[in-house]
Amino acid sequence: MSLKNRHVISVKDFSREEIDYILDTAEKLEPAARGEERLRLLDGKIIALLFFEPSTRTRLSFEAAVHRLGGQVLHLGSVEASSVMKGENLADNMRVTSNYADLIVLRHPLDGSARMATEFASVPIINGGDGSVNHPTQTFLDLFTIRRESHLEGLKIAMAGDLKYGRTVHSLCHALSLYGAEMTFVSPPELRMPSEIVRDLQKNRISVKETDSLEEIIGDVEVLYMTRVQKERFLDPEEYEKVKNKLKITGDLLSTAGPNLKILHPLPRVDEIFPEVDSTPHACYFKQAFYGIPVRMALLALATGVIE
Ligand code: CP
């Protein structure tokens, strides 16, 4: 199987076989991601990181992934220091950056911007998150974490928090539907999973339940995928204030959890997971952030064709 020159825009563009191939490749690269092996697979290759929206994990783990593969990174730097401030559009930005790099990683606030960028770039684009639509590299690393720490096939998972705006949960529920998951969505009514996503899952015979109570589901699930309420997506600050503190994972809540429950979170968290949870065997979110490196190494190596 070759993924050479494939754009990575949405998990929906990938079959289950291709996803498994990406996860298998990431597993093989994990020792190098930990610095236990030295690889030169991207020797001579330049990867452009164009981030038009804030990021810590995606930006730094992509940069770490390039270094671990022996390649070099080209940064846009801050948007304020770029010609975006002079009015340069994304299309021209893609045309120009394609001449400087062998692959572009793009994060952009506008829904659909990554797909649009592929029309103007002459090198592969990896979507580092666009608006509230897609965050495919996060989904691949979420799947990798679930496979490593629990299991993928027939998983009983709850996704909680901001299910309306959360691009990570939108992508993850599609990907998990390929593995026949049982899903429970936990959110305040204002932040429910979009009905078109629920309908799509049901059409694919995926069992879906909805509730606003973590207490109701904590004893029944194998993975709890928690998300932050995304203040930056609310047009009305009062609406954010109303919902921001509705769901919290505390030590008390975990007293009724099964022993094998794994808690994931794409991070950053604000205060939806209490610090006391970090030292429990349930907490997987910092490992999950590390798994971003082998997974992004795999995507870079496959899309540039240095692994086929
Ligand atoms: N999970 C995630 O995308 O984090 P960043 O926004 O810090 O990249």
Domains and CATH numbers, the chain: 11-134+292-304 (3.40.50.1370), 136-288 (3.40.50.1370)
CA-nearest residue, atom 5 of ligand 1: 55
- Residue of higher predicted confidence among 21 and 131: 21
* Cα of 59 from ligand 1 centre, angstroms: 8
- Ligand 1 closest atom vs CA 292: 1
pLDDT digits (tens, 9 = 90+) for 147-193: 999 999 999 999 999 999 888 999 999 999 999 999 999 999 999 99
Three-state DSSP string of the chain: CCCCCCCECCHHHCCHHHHHHHHHHHHHHHHHHCCCCCCCCCCCCEEEEEECCCCCHHHHHHHHHHHHCCCEEEECCCHHHCHHHHCCCHHHHHHHHCCCCCEEEEEECCCCHHHHHHCCCCCCEEEEEECCCECHHHHHHHHHHHHHHCCCCCCEEEEECCCCCCHHHHHHHHHHHCCCCEEEEECCHHHCCCHHHHHHHHHCCCEEEEECCHHHHCCCCCEEEECCCCHHHCCCHHHHHHHCCCCCECHHHHCCCCCCCEEECCCCCCCCECHHHCCCCCECHHHHHHHHHHHHHHHHHHHHCCCC
Residue 56 CB less than 6 A away from ligand 1: yes
Average pLDDT in the 195-212 region?
Answer: 95
Whether the predicted pLDDT of 242 surpasses 90: no
Q: How far is the CA of 295 from the centre of ligand 1 (A)?
A: 14
- % of the chain at pLDDT higher than 90: 87
What pTM does this model have? 0.95
The residues assigned a catalytic role are 57-58, 86, 107, 135
